[in-house]
Amino acid sequence: MINIYTYRLLTILLSPLIDLYLLFRLIKGKEDKKRFGERFGYTKTQRPEGRVVWFHGASVGESNSILPVIKKFIKENPDKNSTILFTSGTKTSAKLIKDKIKEYKIIHQYIPIDKYFVVKRFLKHWKPDIFIPIESEIWPNLFTLAKKTGCPIVLINGKMSEKSFKKWKEKPTFKKQIFSCIDLCFAQSKDNQKRFLKLGIKNTKYYGNLKFDVPILKGDIKKEMELKKSLKVKKEVWAVASTHKKEEELIAQIHIKLKKQHSNILTTIILRHPKRKNEVVNMLEKEYKLNVIVRTENTKITKKTDIYLCDTLGEMGVFFRVFDIVLMAGSLIDGIGGHTPIEPAKLNCAILTGPYIHNNKGLFAELEKNNACIKIKDNGKIIDNTVKEIANLFNNSKKTKQLQKNALKLTTKMKNITIKIVNKIINDFKNTPR
């Protein structure tokens, strides 16, 4: 029977393999060479005087979700001598934090690997006064050892899939040892709230999903007007946002089938990784004989244009303001998980998604429930199913407008989640001396 003690023993016995794995990541450039010691609990940064409030987000997505909470916490926290310690596990998230927290009193560290002595070393140095991880970042040694030091643990935007829930239920002792450490949990959906309650976190709240509370993407009126003007040569336009390798091939086939029904159609492909521009252009032109215009080449869209390829960064706010119909990519093939629909929802888009949305399942479920997005079925006919849904929106402007209206209404309803969570944390844990 697995429990915290067998888990600790396993991490000690497997320590050489864990270290080799991290070394392999370092060689591959996935770990920060200059700060590699932080993964083992070593640091060159001194602990400041006063309270240390420790936030943790695994990677870029979690970091983006938790940053508004941190900023609001700094603003609302009456103890201005507190220091924010922010941990994450990837180089990309570390860079994101560095770029966005310059004006704040925040220390970034890489999260220590979940080995007993490593975690003890980290906790001994930092002595956090409260630990606030996000989503599904539940590490047995980290939680139990932090709790043992008297550090309260607050899980925000808590996520627990049905699959993970069943696995925890099969380990009753281990489950109790871990989840009893959590003092307060803010679940990201009502389904997640029910699962956390069944796992033993009695103090579980549902205020809404934090990702609904992300700031609206910045636009650019001049660029928006120019793009709208250039699109006037086309009768029907739609966009596919943040595409990945292999998805563009599906989109090419979708476009060809749609064009048989709507001859004056323009499909816009917004690349997730602009460096793939040449590869994608070659594929679209040579394999599918499509007429492609690339945004950075400043070529005018004409009636002959099939694909408008966007190869820029930082313009998503412009695109979401211009296009009424947006399919969020990363969802058309398995293994990516899909991208968040909240940004286009806030900017009045009619949203579609493919079937593979593991990363944002809760968000899309909430939108679907409120008739605020369309989830395309696979059943071996993903191309035909997508063609059908897009054509339906082209033919039914009322349905398109209703999707836009419902998405905007839902995201407006879900605002101010951050401040509710922050106020609850400050009020409940302001008197937790270490």
Residue 150 tokens read as 């008297």
Q: What is the Cα gyration radius of the chain?
A: 24
pLDDT in tens, the chain (434 residues): 789 999 999 999 999 999 999 999 999 998 999 999 999 999 999 999 999 999 999 887 788 788 889 989 999 999 888 999 999 998 888 887 777 777 777 899 999 999 999 999 999 999 999 999 999 889 999 999 999 999 999 999 999 988 899 999 999 999 999 999 999 999 998 889 999 999 999 999 999 888 888 788 999 999 999 999 999 999 999 999 999 999 999 999 999 999 999 999 999 999 999 999 999 999 999 999 999 999 999 999 999 999 999 999 999 999 999 999 999 999 999 999 899 899 999 999 999 999 999 878 888 988 999 999 999 998 889 999 999 999 999 999 999 999 999 999 999 888 889 999 999 999 999 765 55
If residue 93 lies in a helix (H) or strand (E), which one and from where to where?
helix 91-100
**Residue keyed to tokens 């943040």:** 242
* Calpha distance 64→82 (Å, rounded): 22
Residue 181 near residue 147, CB atoms below 8 Å: yes
Domains 4-209+416-429 and 221-413 are alike in CATH topology? yes
If residue 325 lies in a helix (H) or strand (E), which one and from where to where?
strand 325-328
Instruction: Give the number of other Cβ atoms within 10 Å of residue 169's Cβ.
Output: 12
The CATH code belonging to domain 4-209+416-429 is 3.40.50.11720
DSSP codes, 30-46: -S-GGGGGGGGT--SSP
Q: How buried is residue 232: exposed, middle or buried, by Cβ count under 10 Å (0-12/13-18/19+)?
A: exposed
Residue 114 near residue 133, CB atoms below 8 Å: no
Q: Compute φ and ψ for 306, nearest 5 degrees.
A: -95, -50
Domain 221-413 architecture = 3-Layer(aba) Sandwich (3.40)
Residue 267 near residue 253, CB atoms below 8 Å: no
CA 221 to chain centre: 27
Residue 434's pLDDT is what? 53
* Calpha distance 256→263 (Å, rounded): 10
Residue 432's pLDDT is what? 59
If residue 266 lies in a helix (H) or strand (E), which one and from where to where?
strand 265-271
Find, among 122, 30, 22, 111, the residue nearest to 63 by Cα: 111
CA 343 to chain centre: 11
Q: Which residue type, as a one-letter code, is found at position 176? A: K
Instruction: Give the number of other Cβ atoms within 10 Å of residue 432's Cβ.
Output: 13
CA 75 to chain centre: 24
Please give the model's pTM, rounded to 2 decimal places: 0.79
Domain boundaries, the chain: 4-209+416-429, 221-413
Angle at 400 between CA 397 and CA 405, to 5 degrees: 125
Residue 164 near residue 136, CB atoms below 8 Å: yes
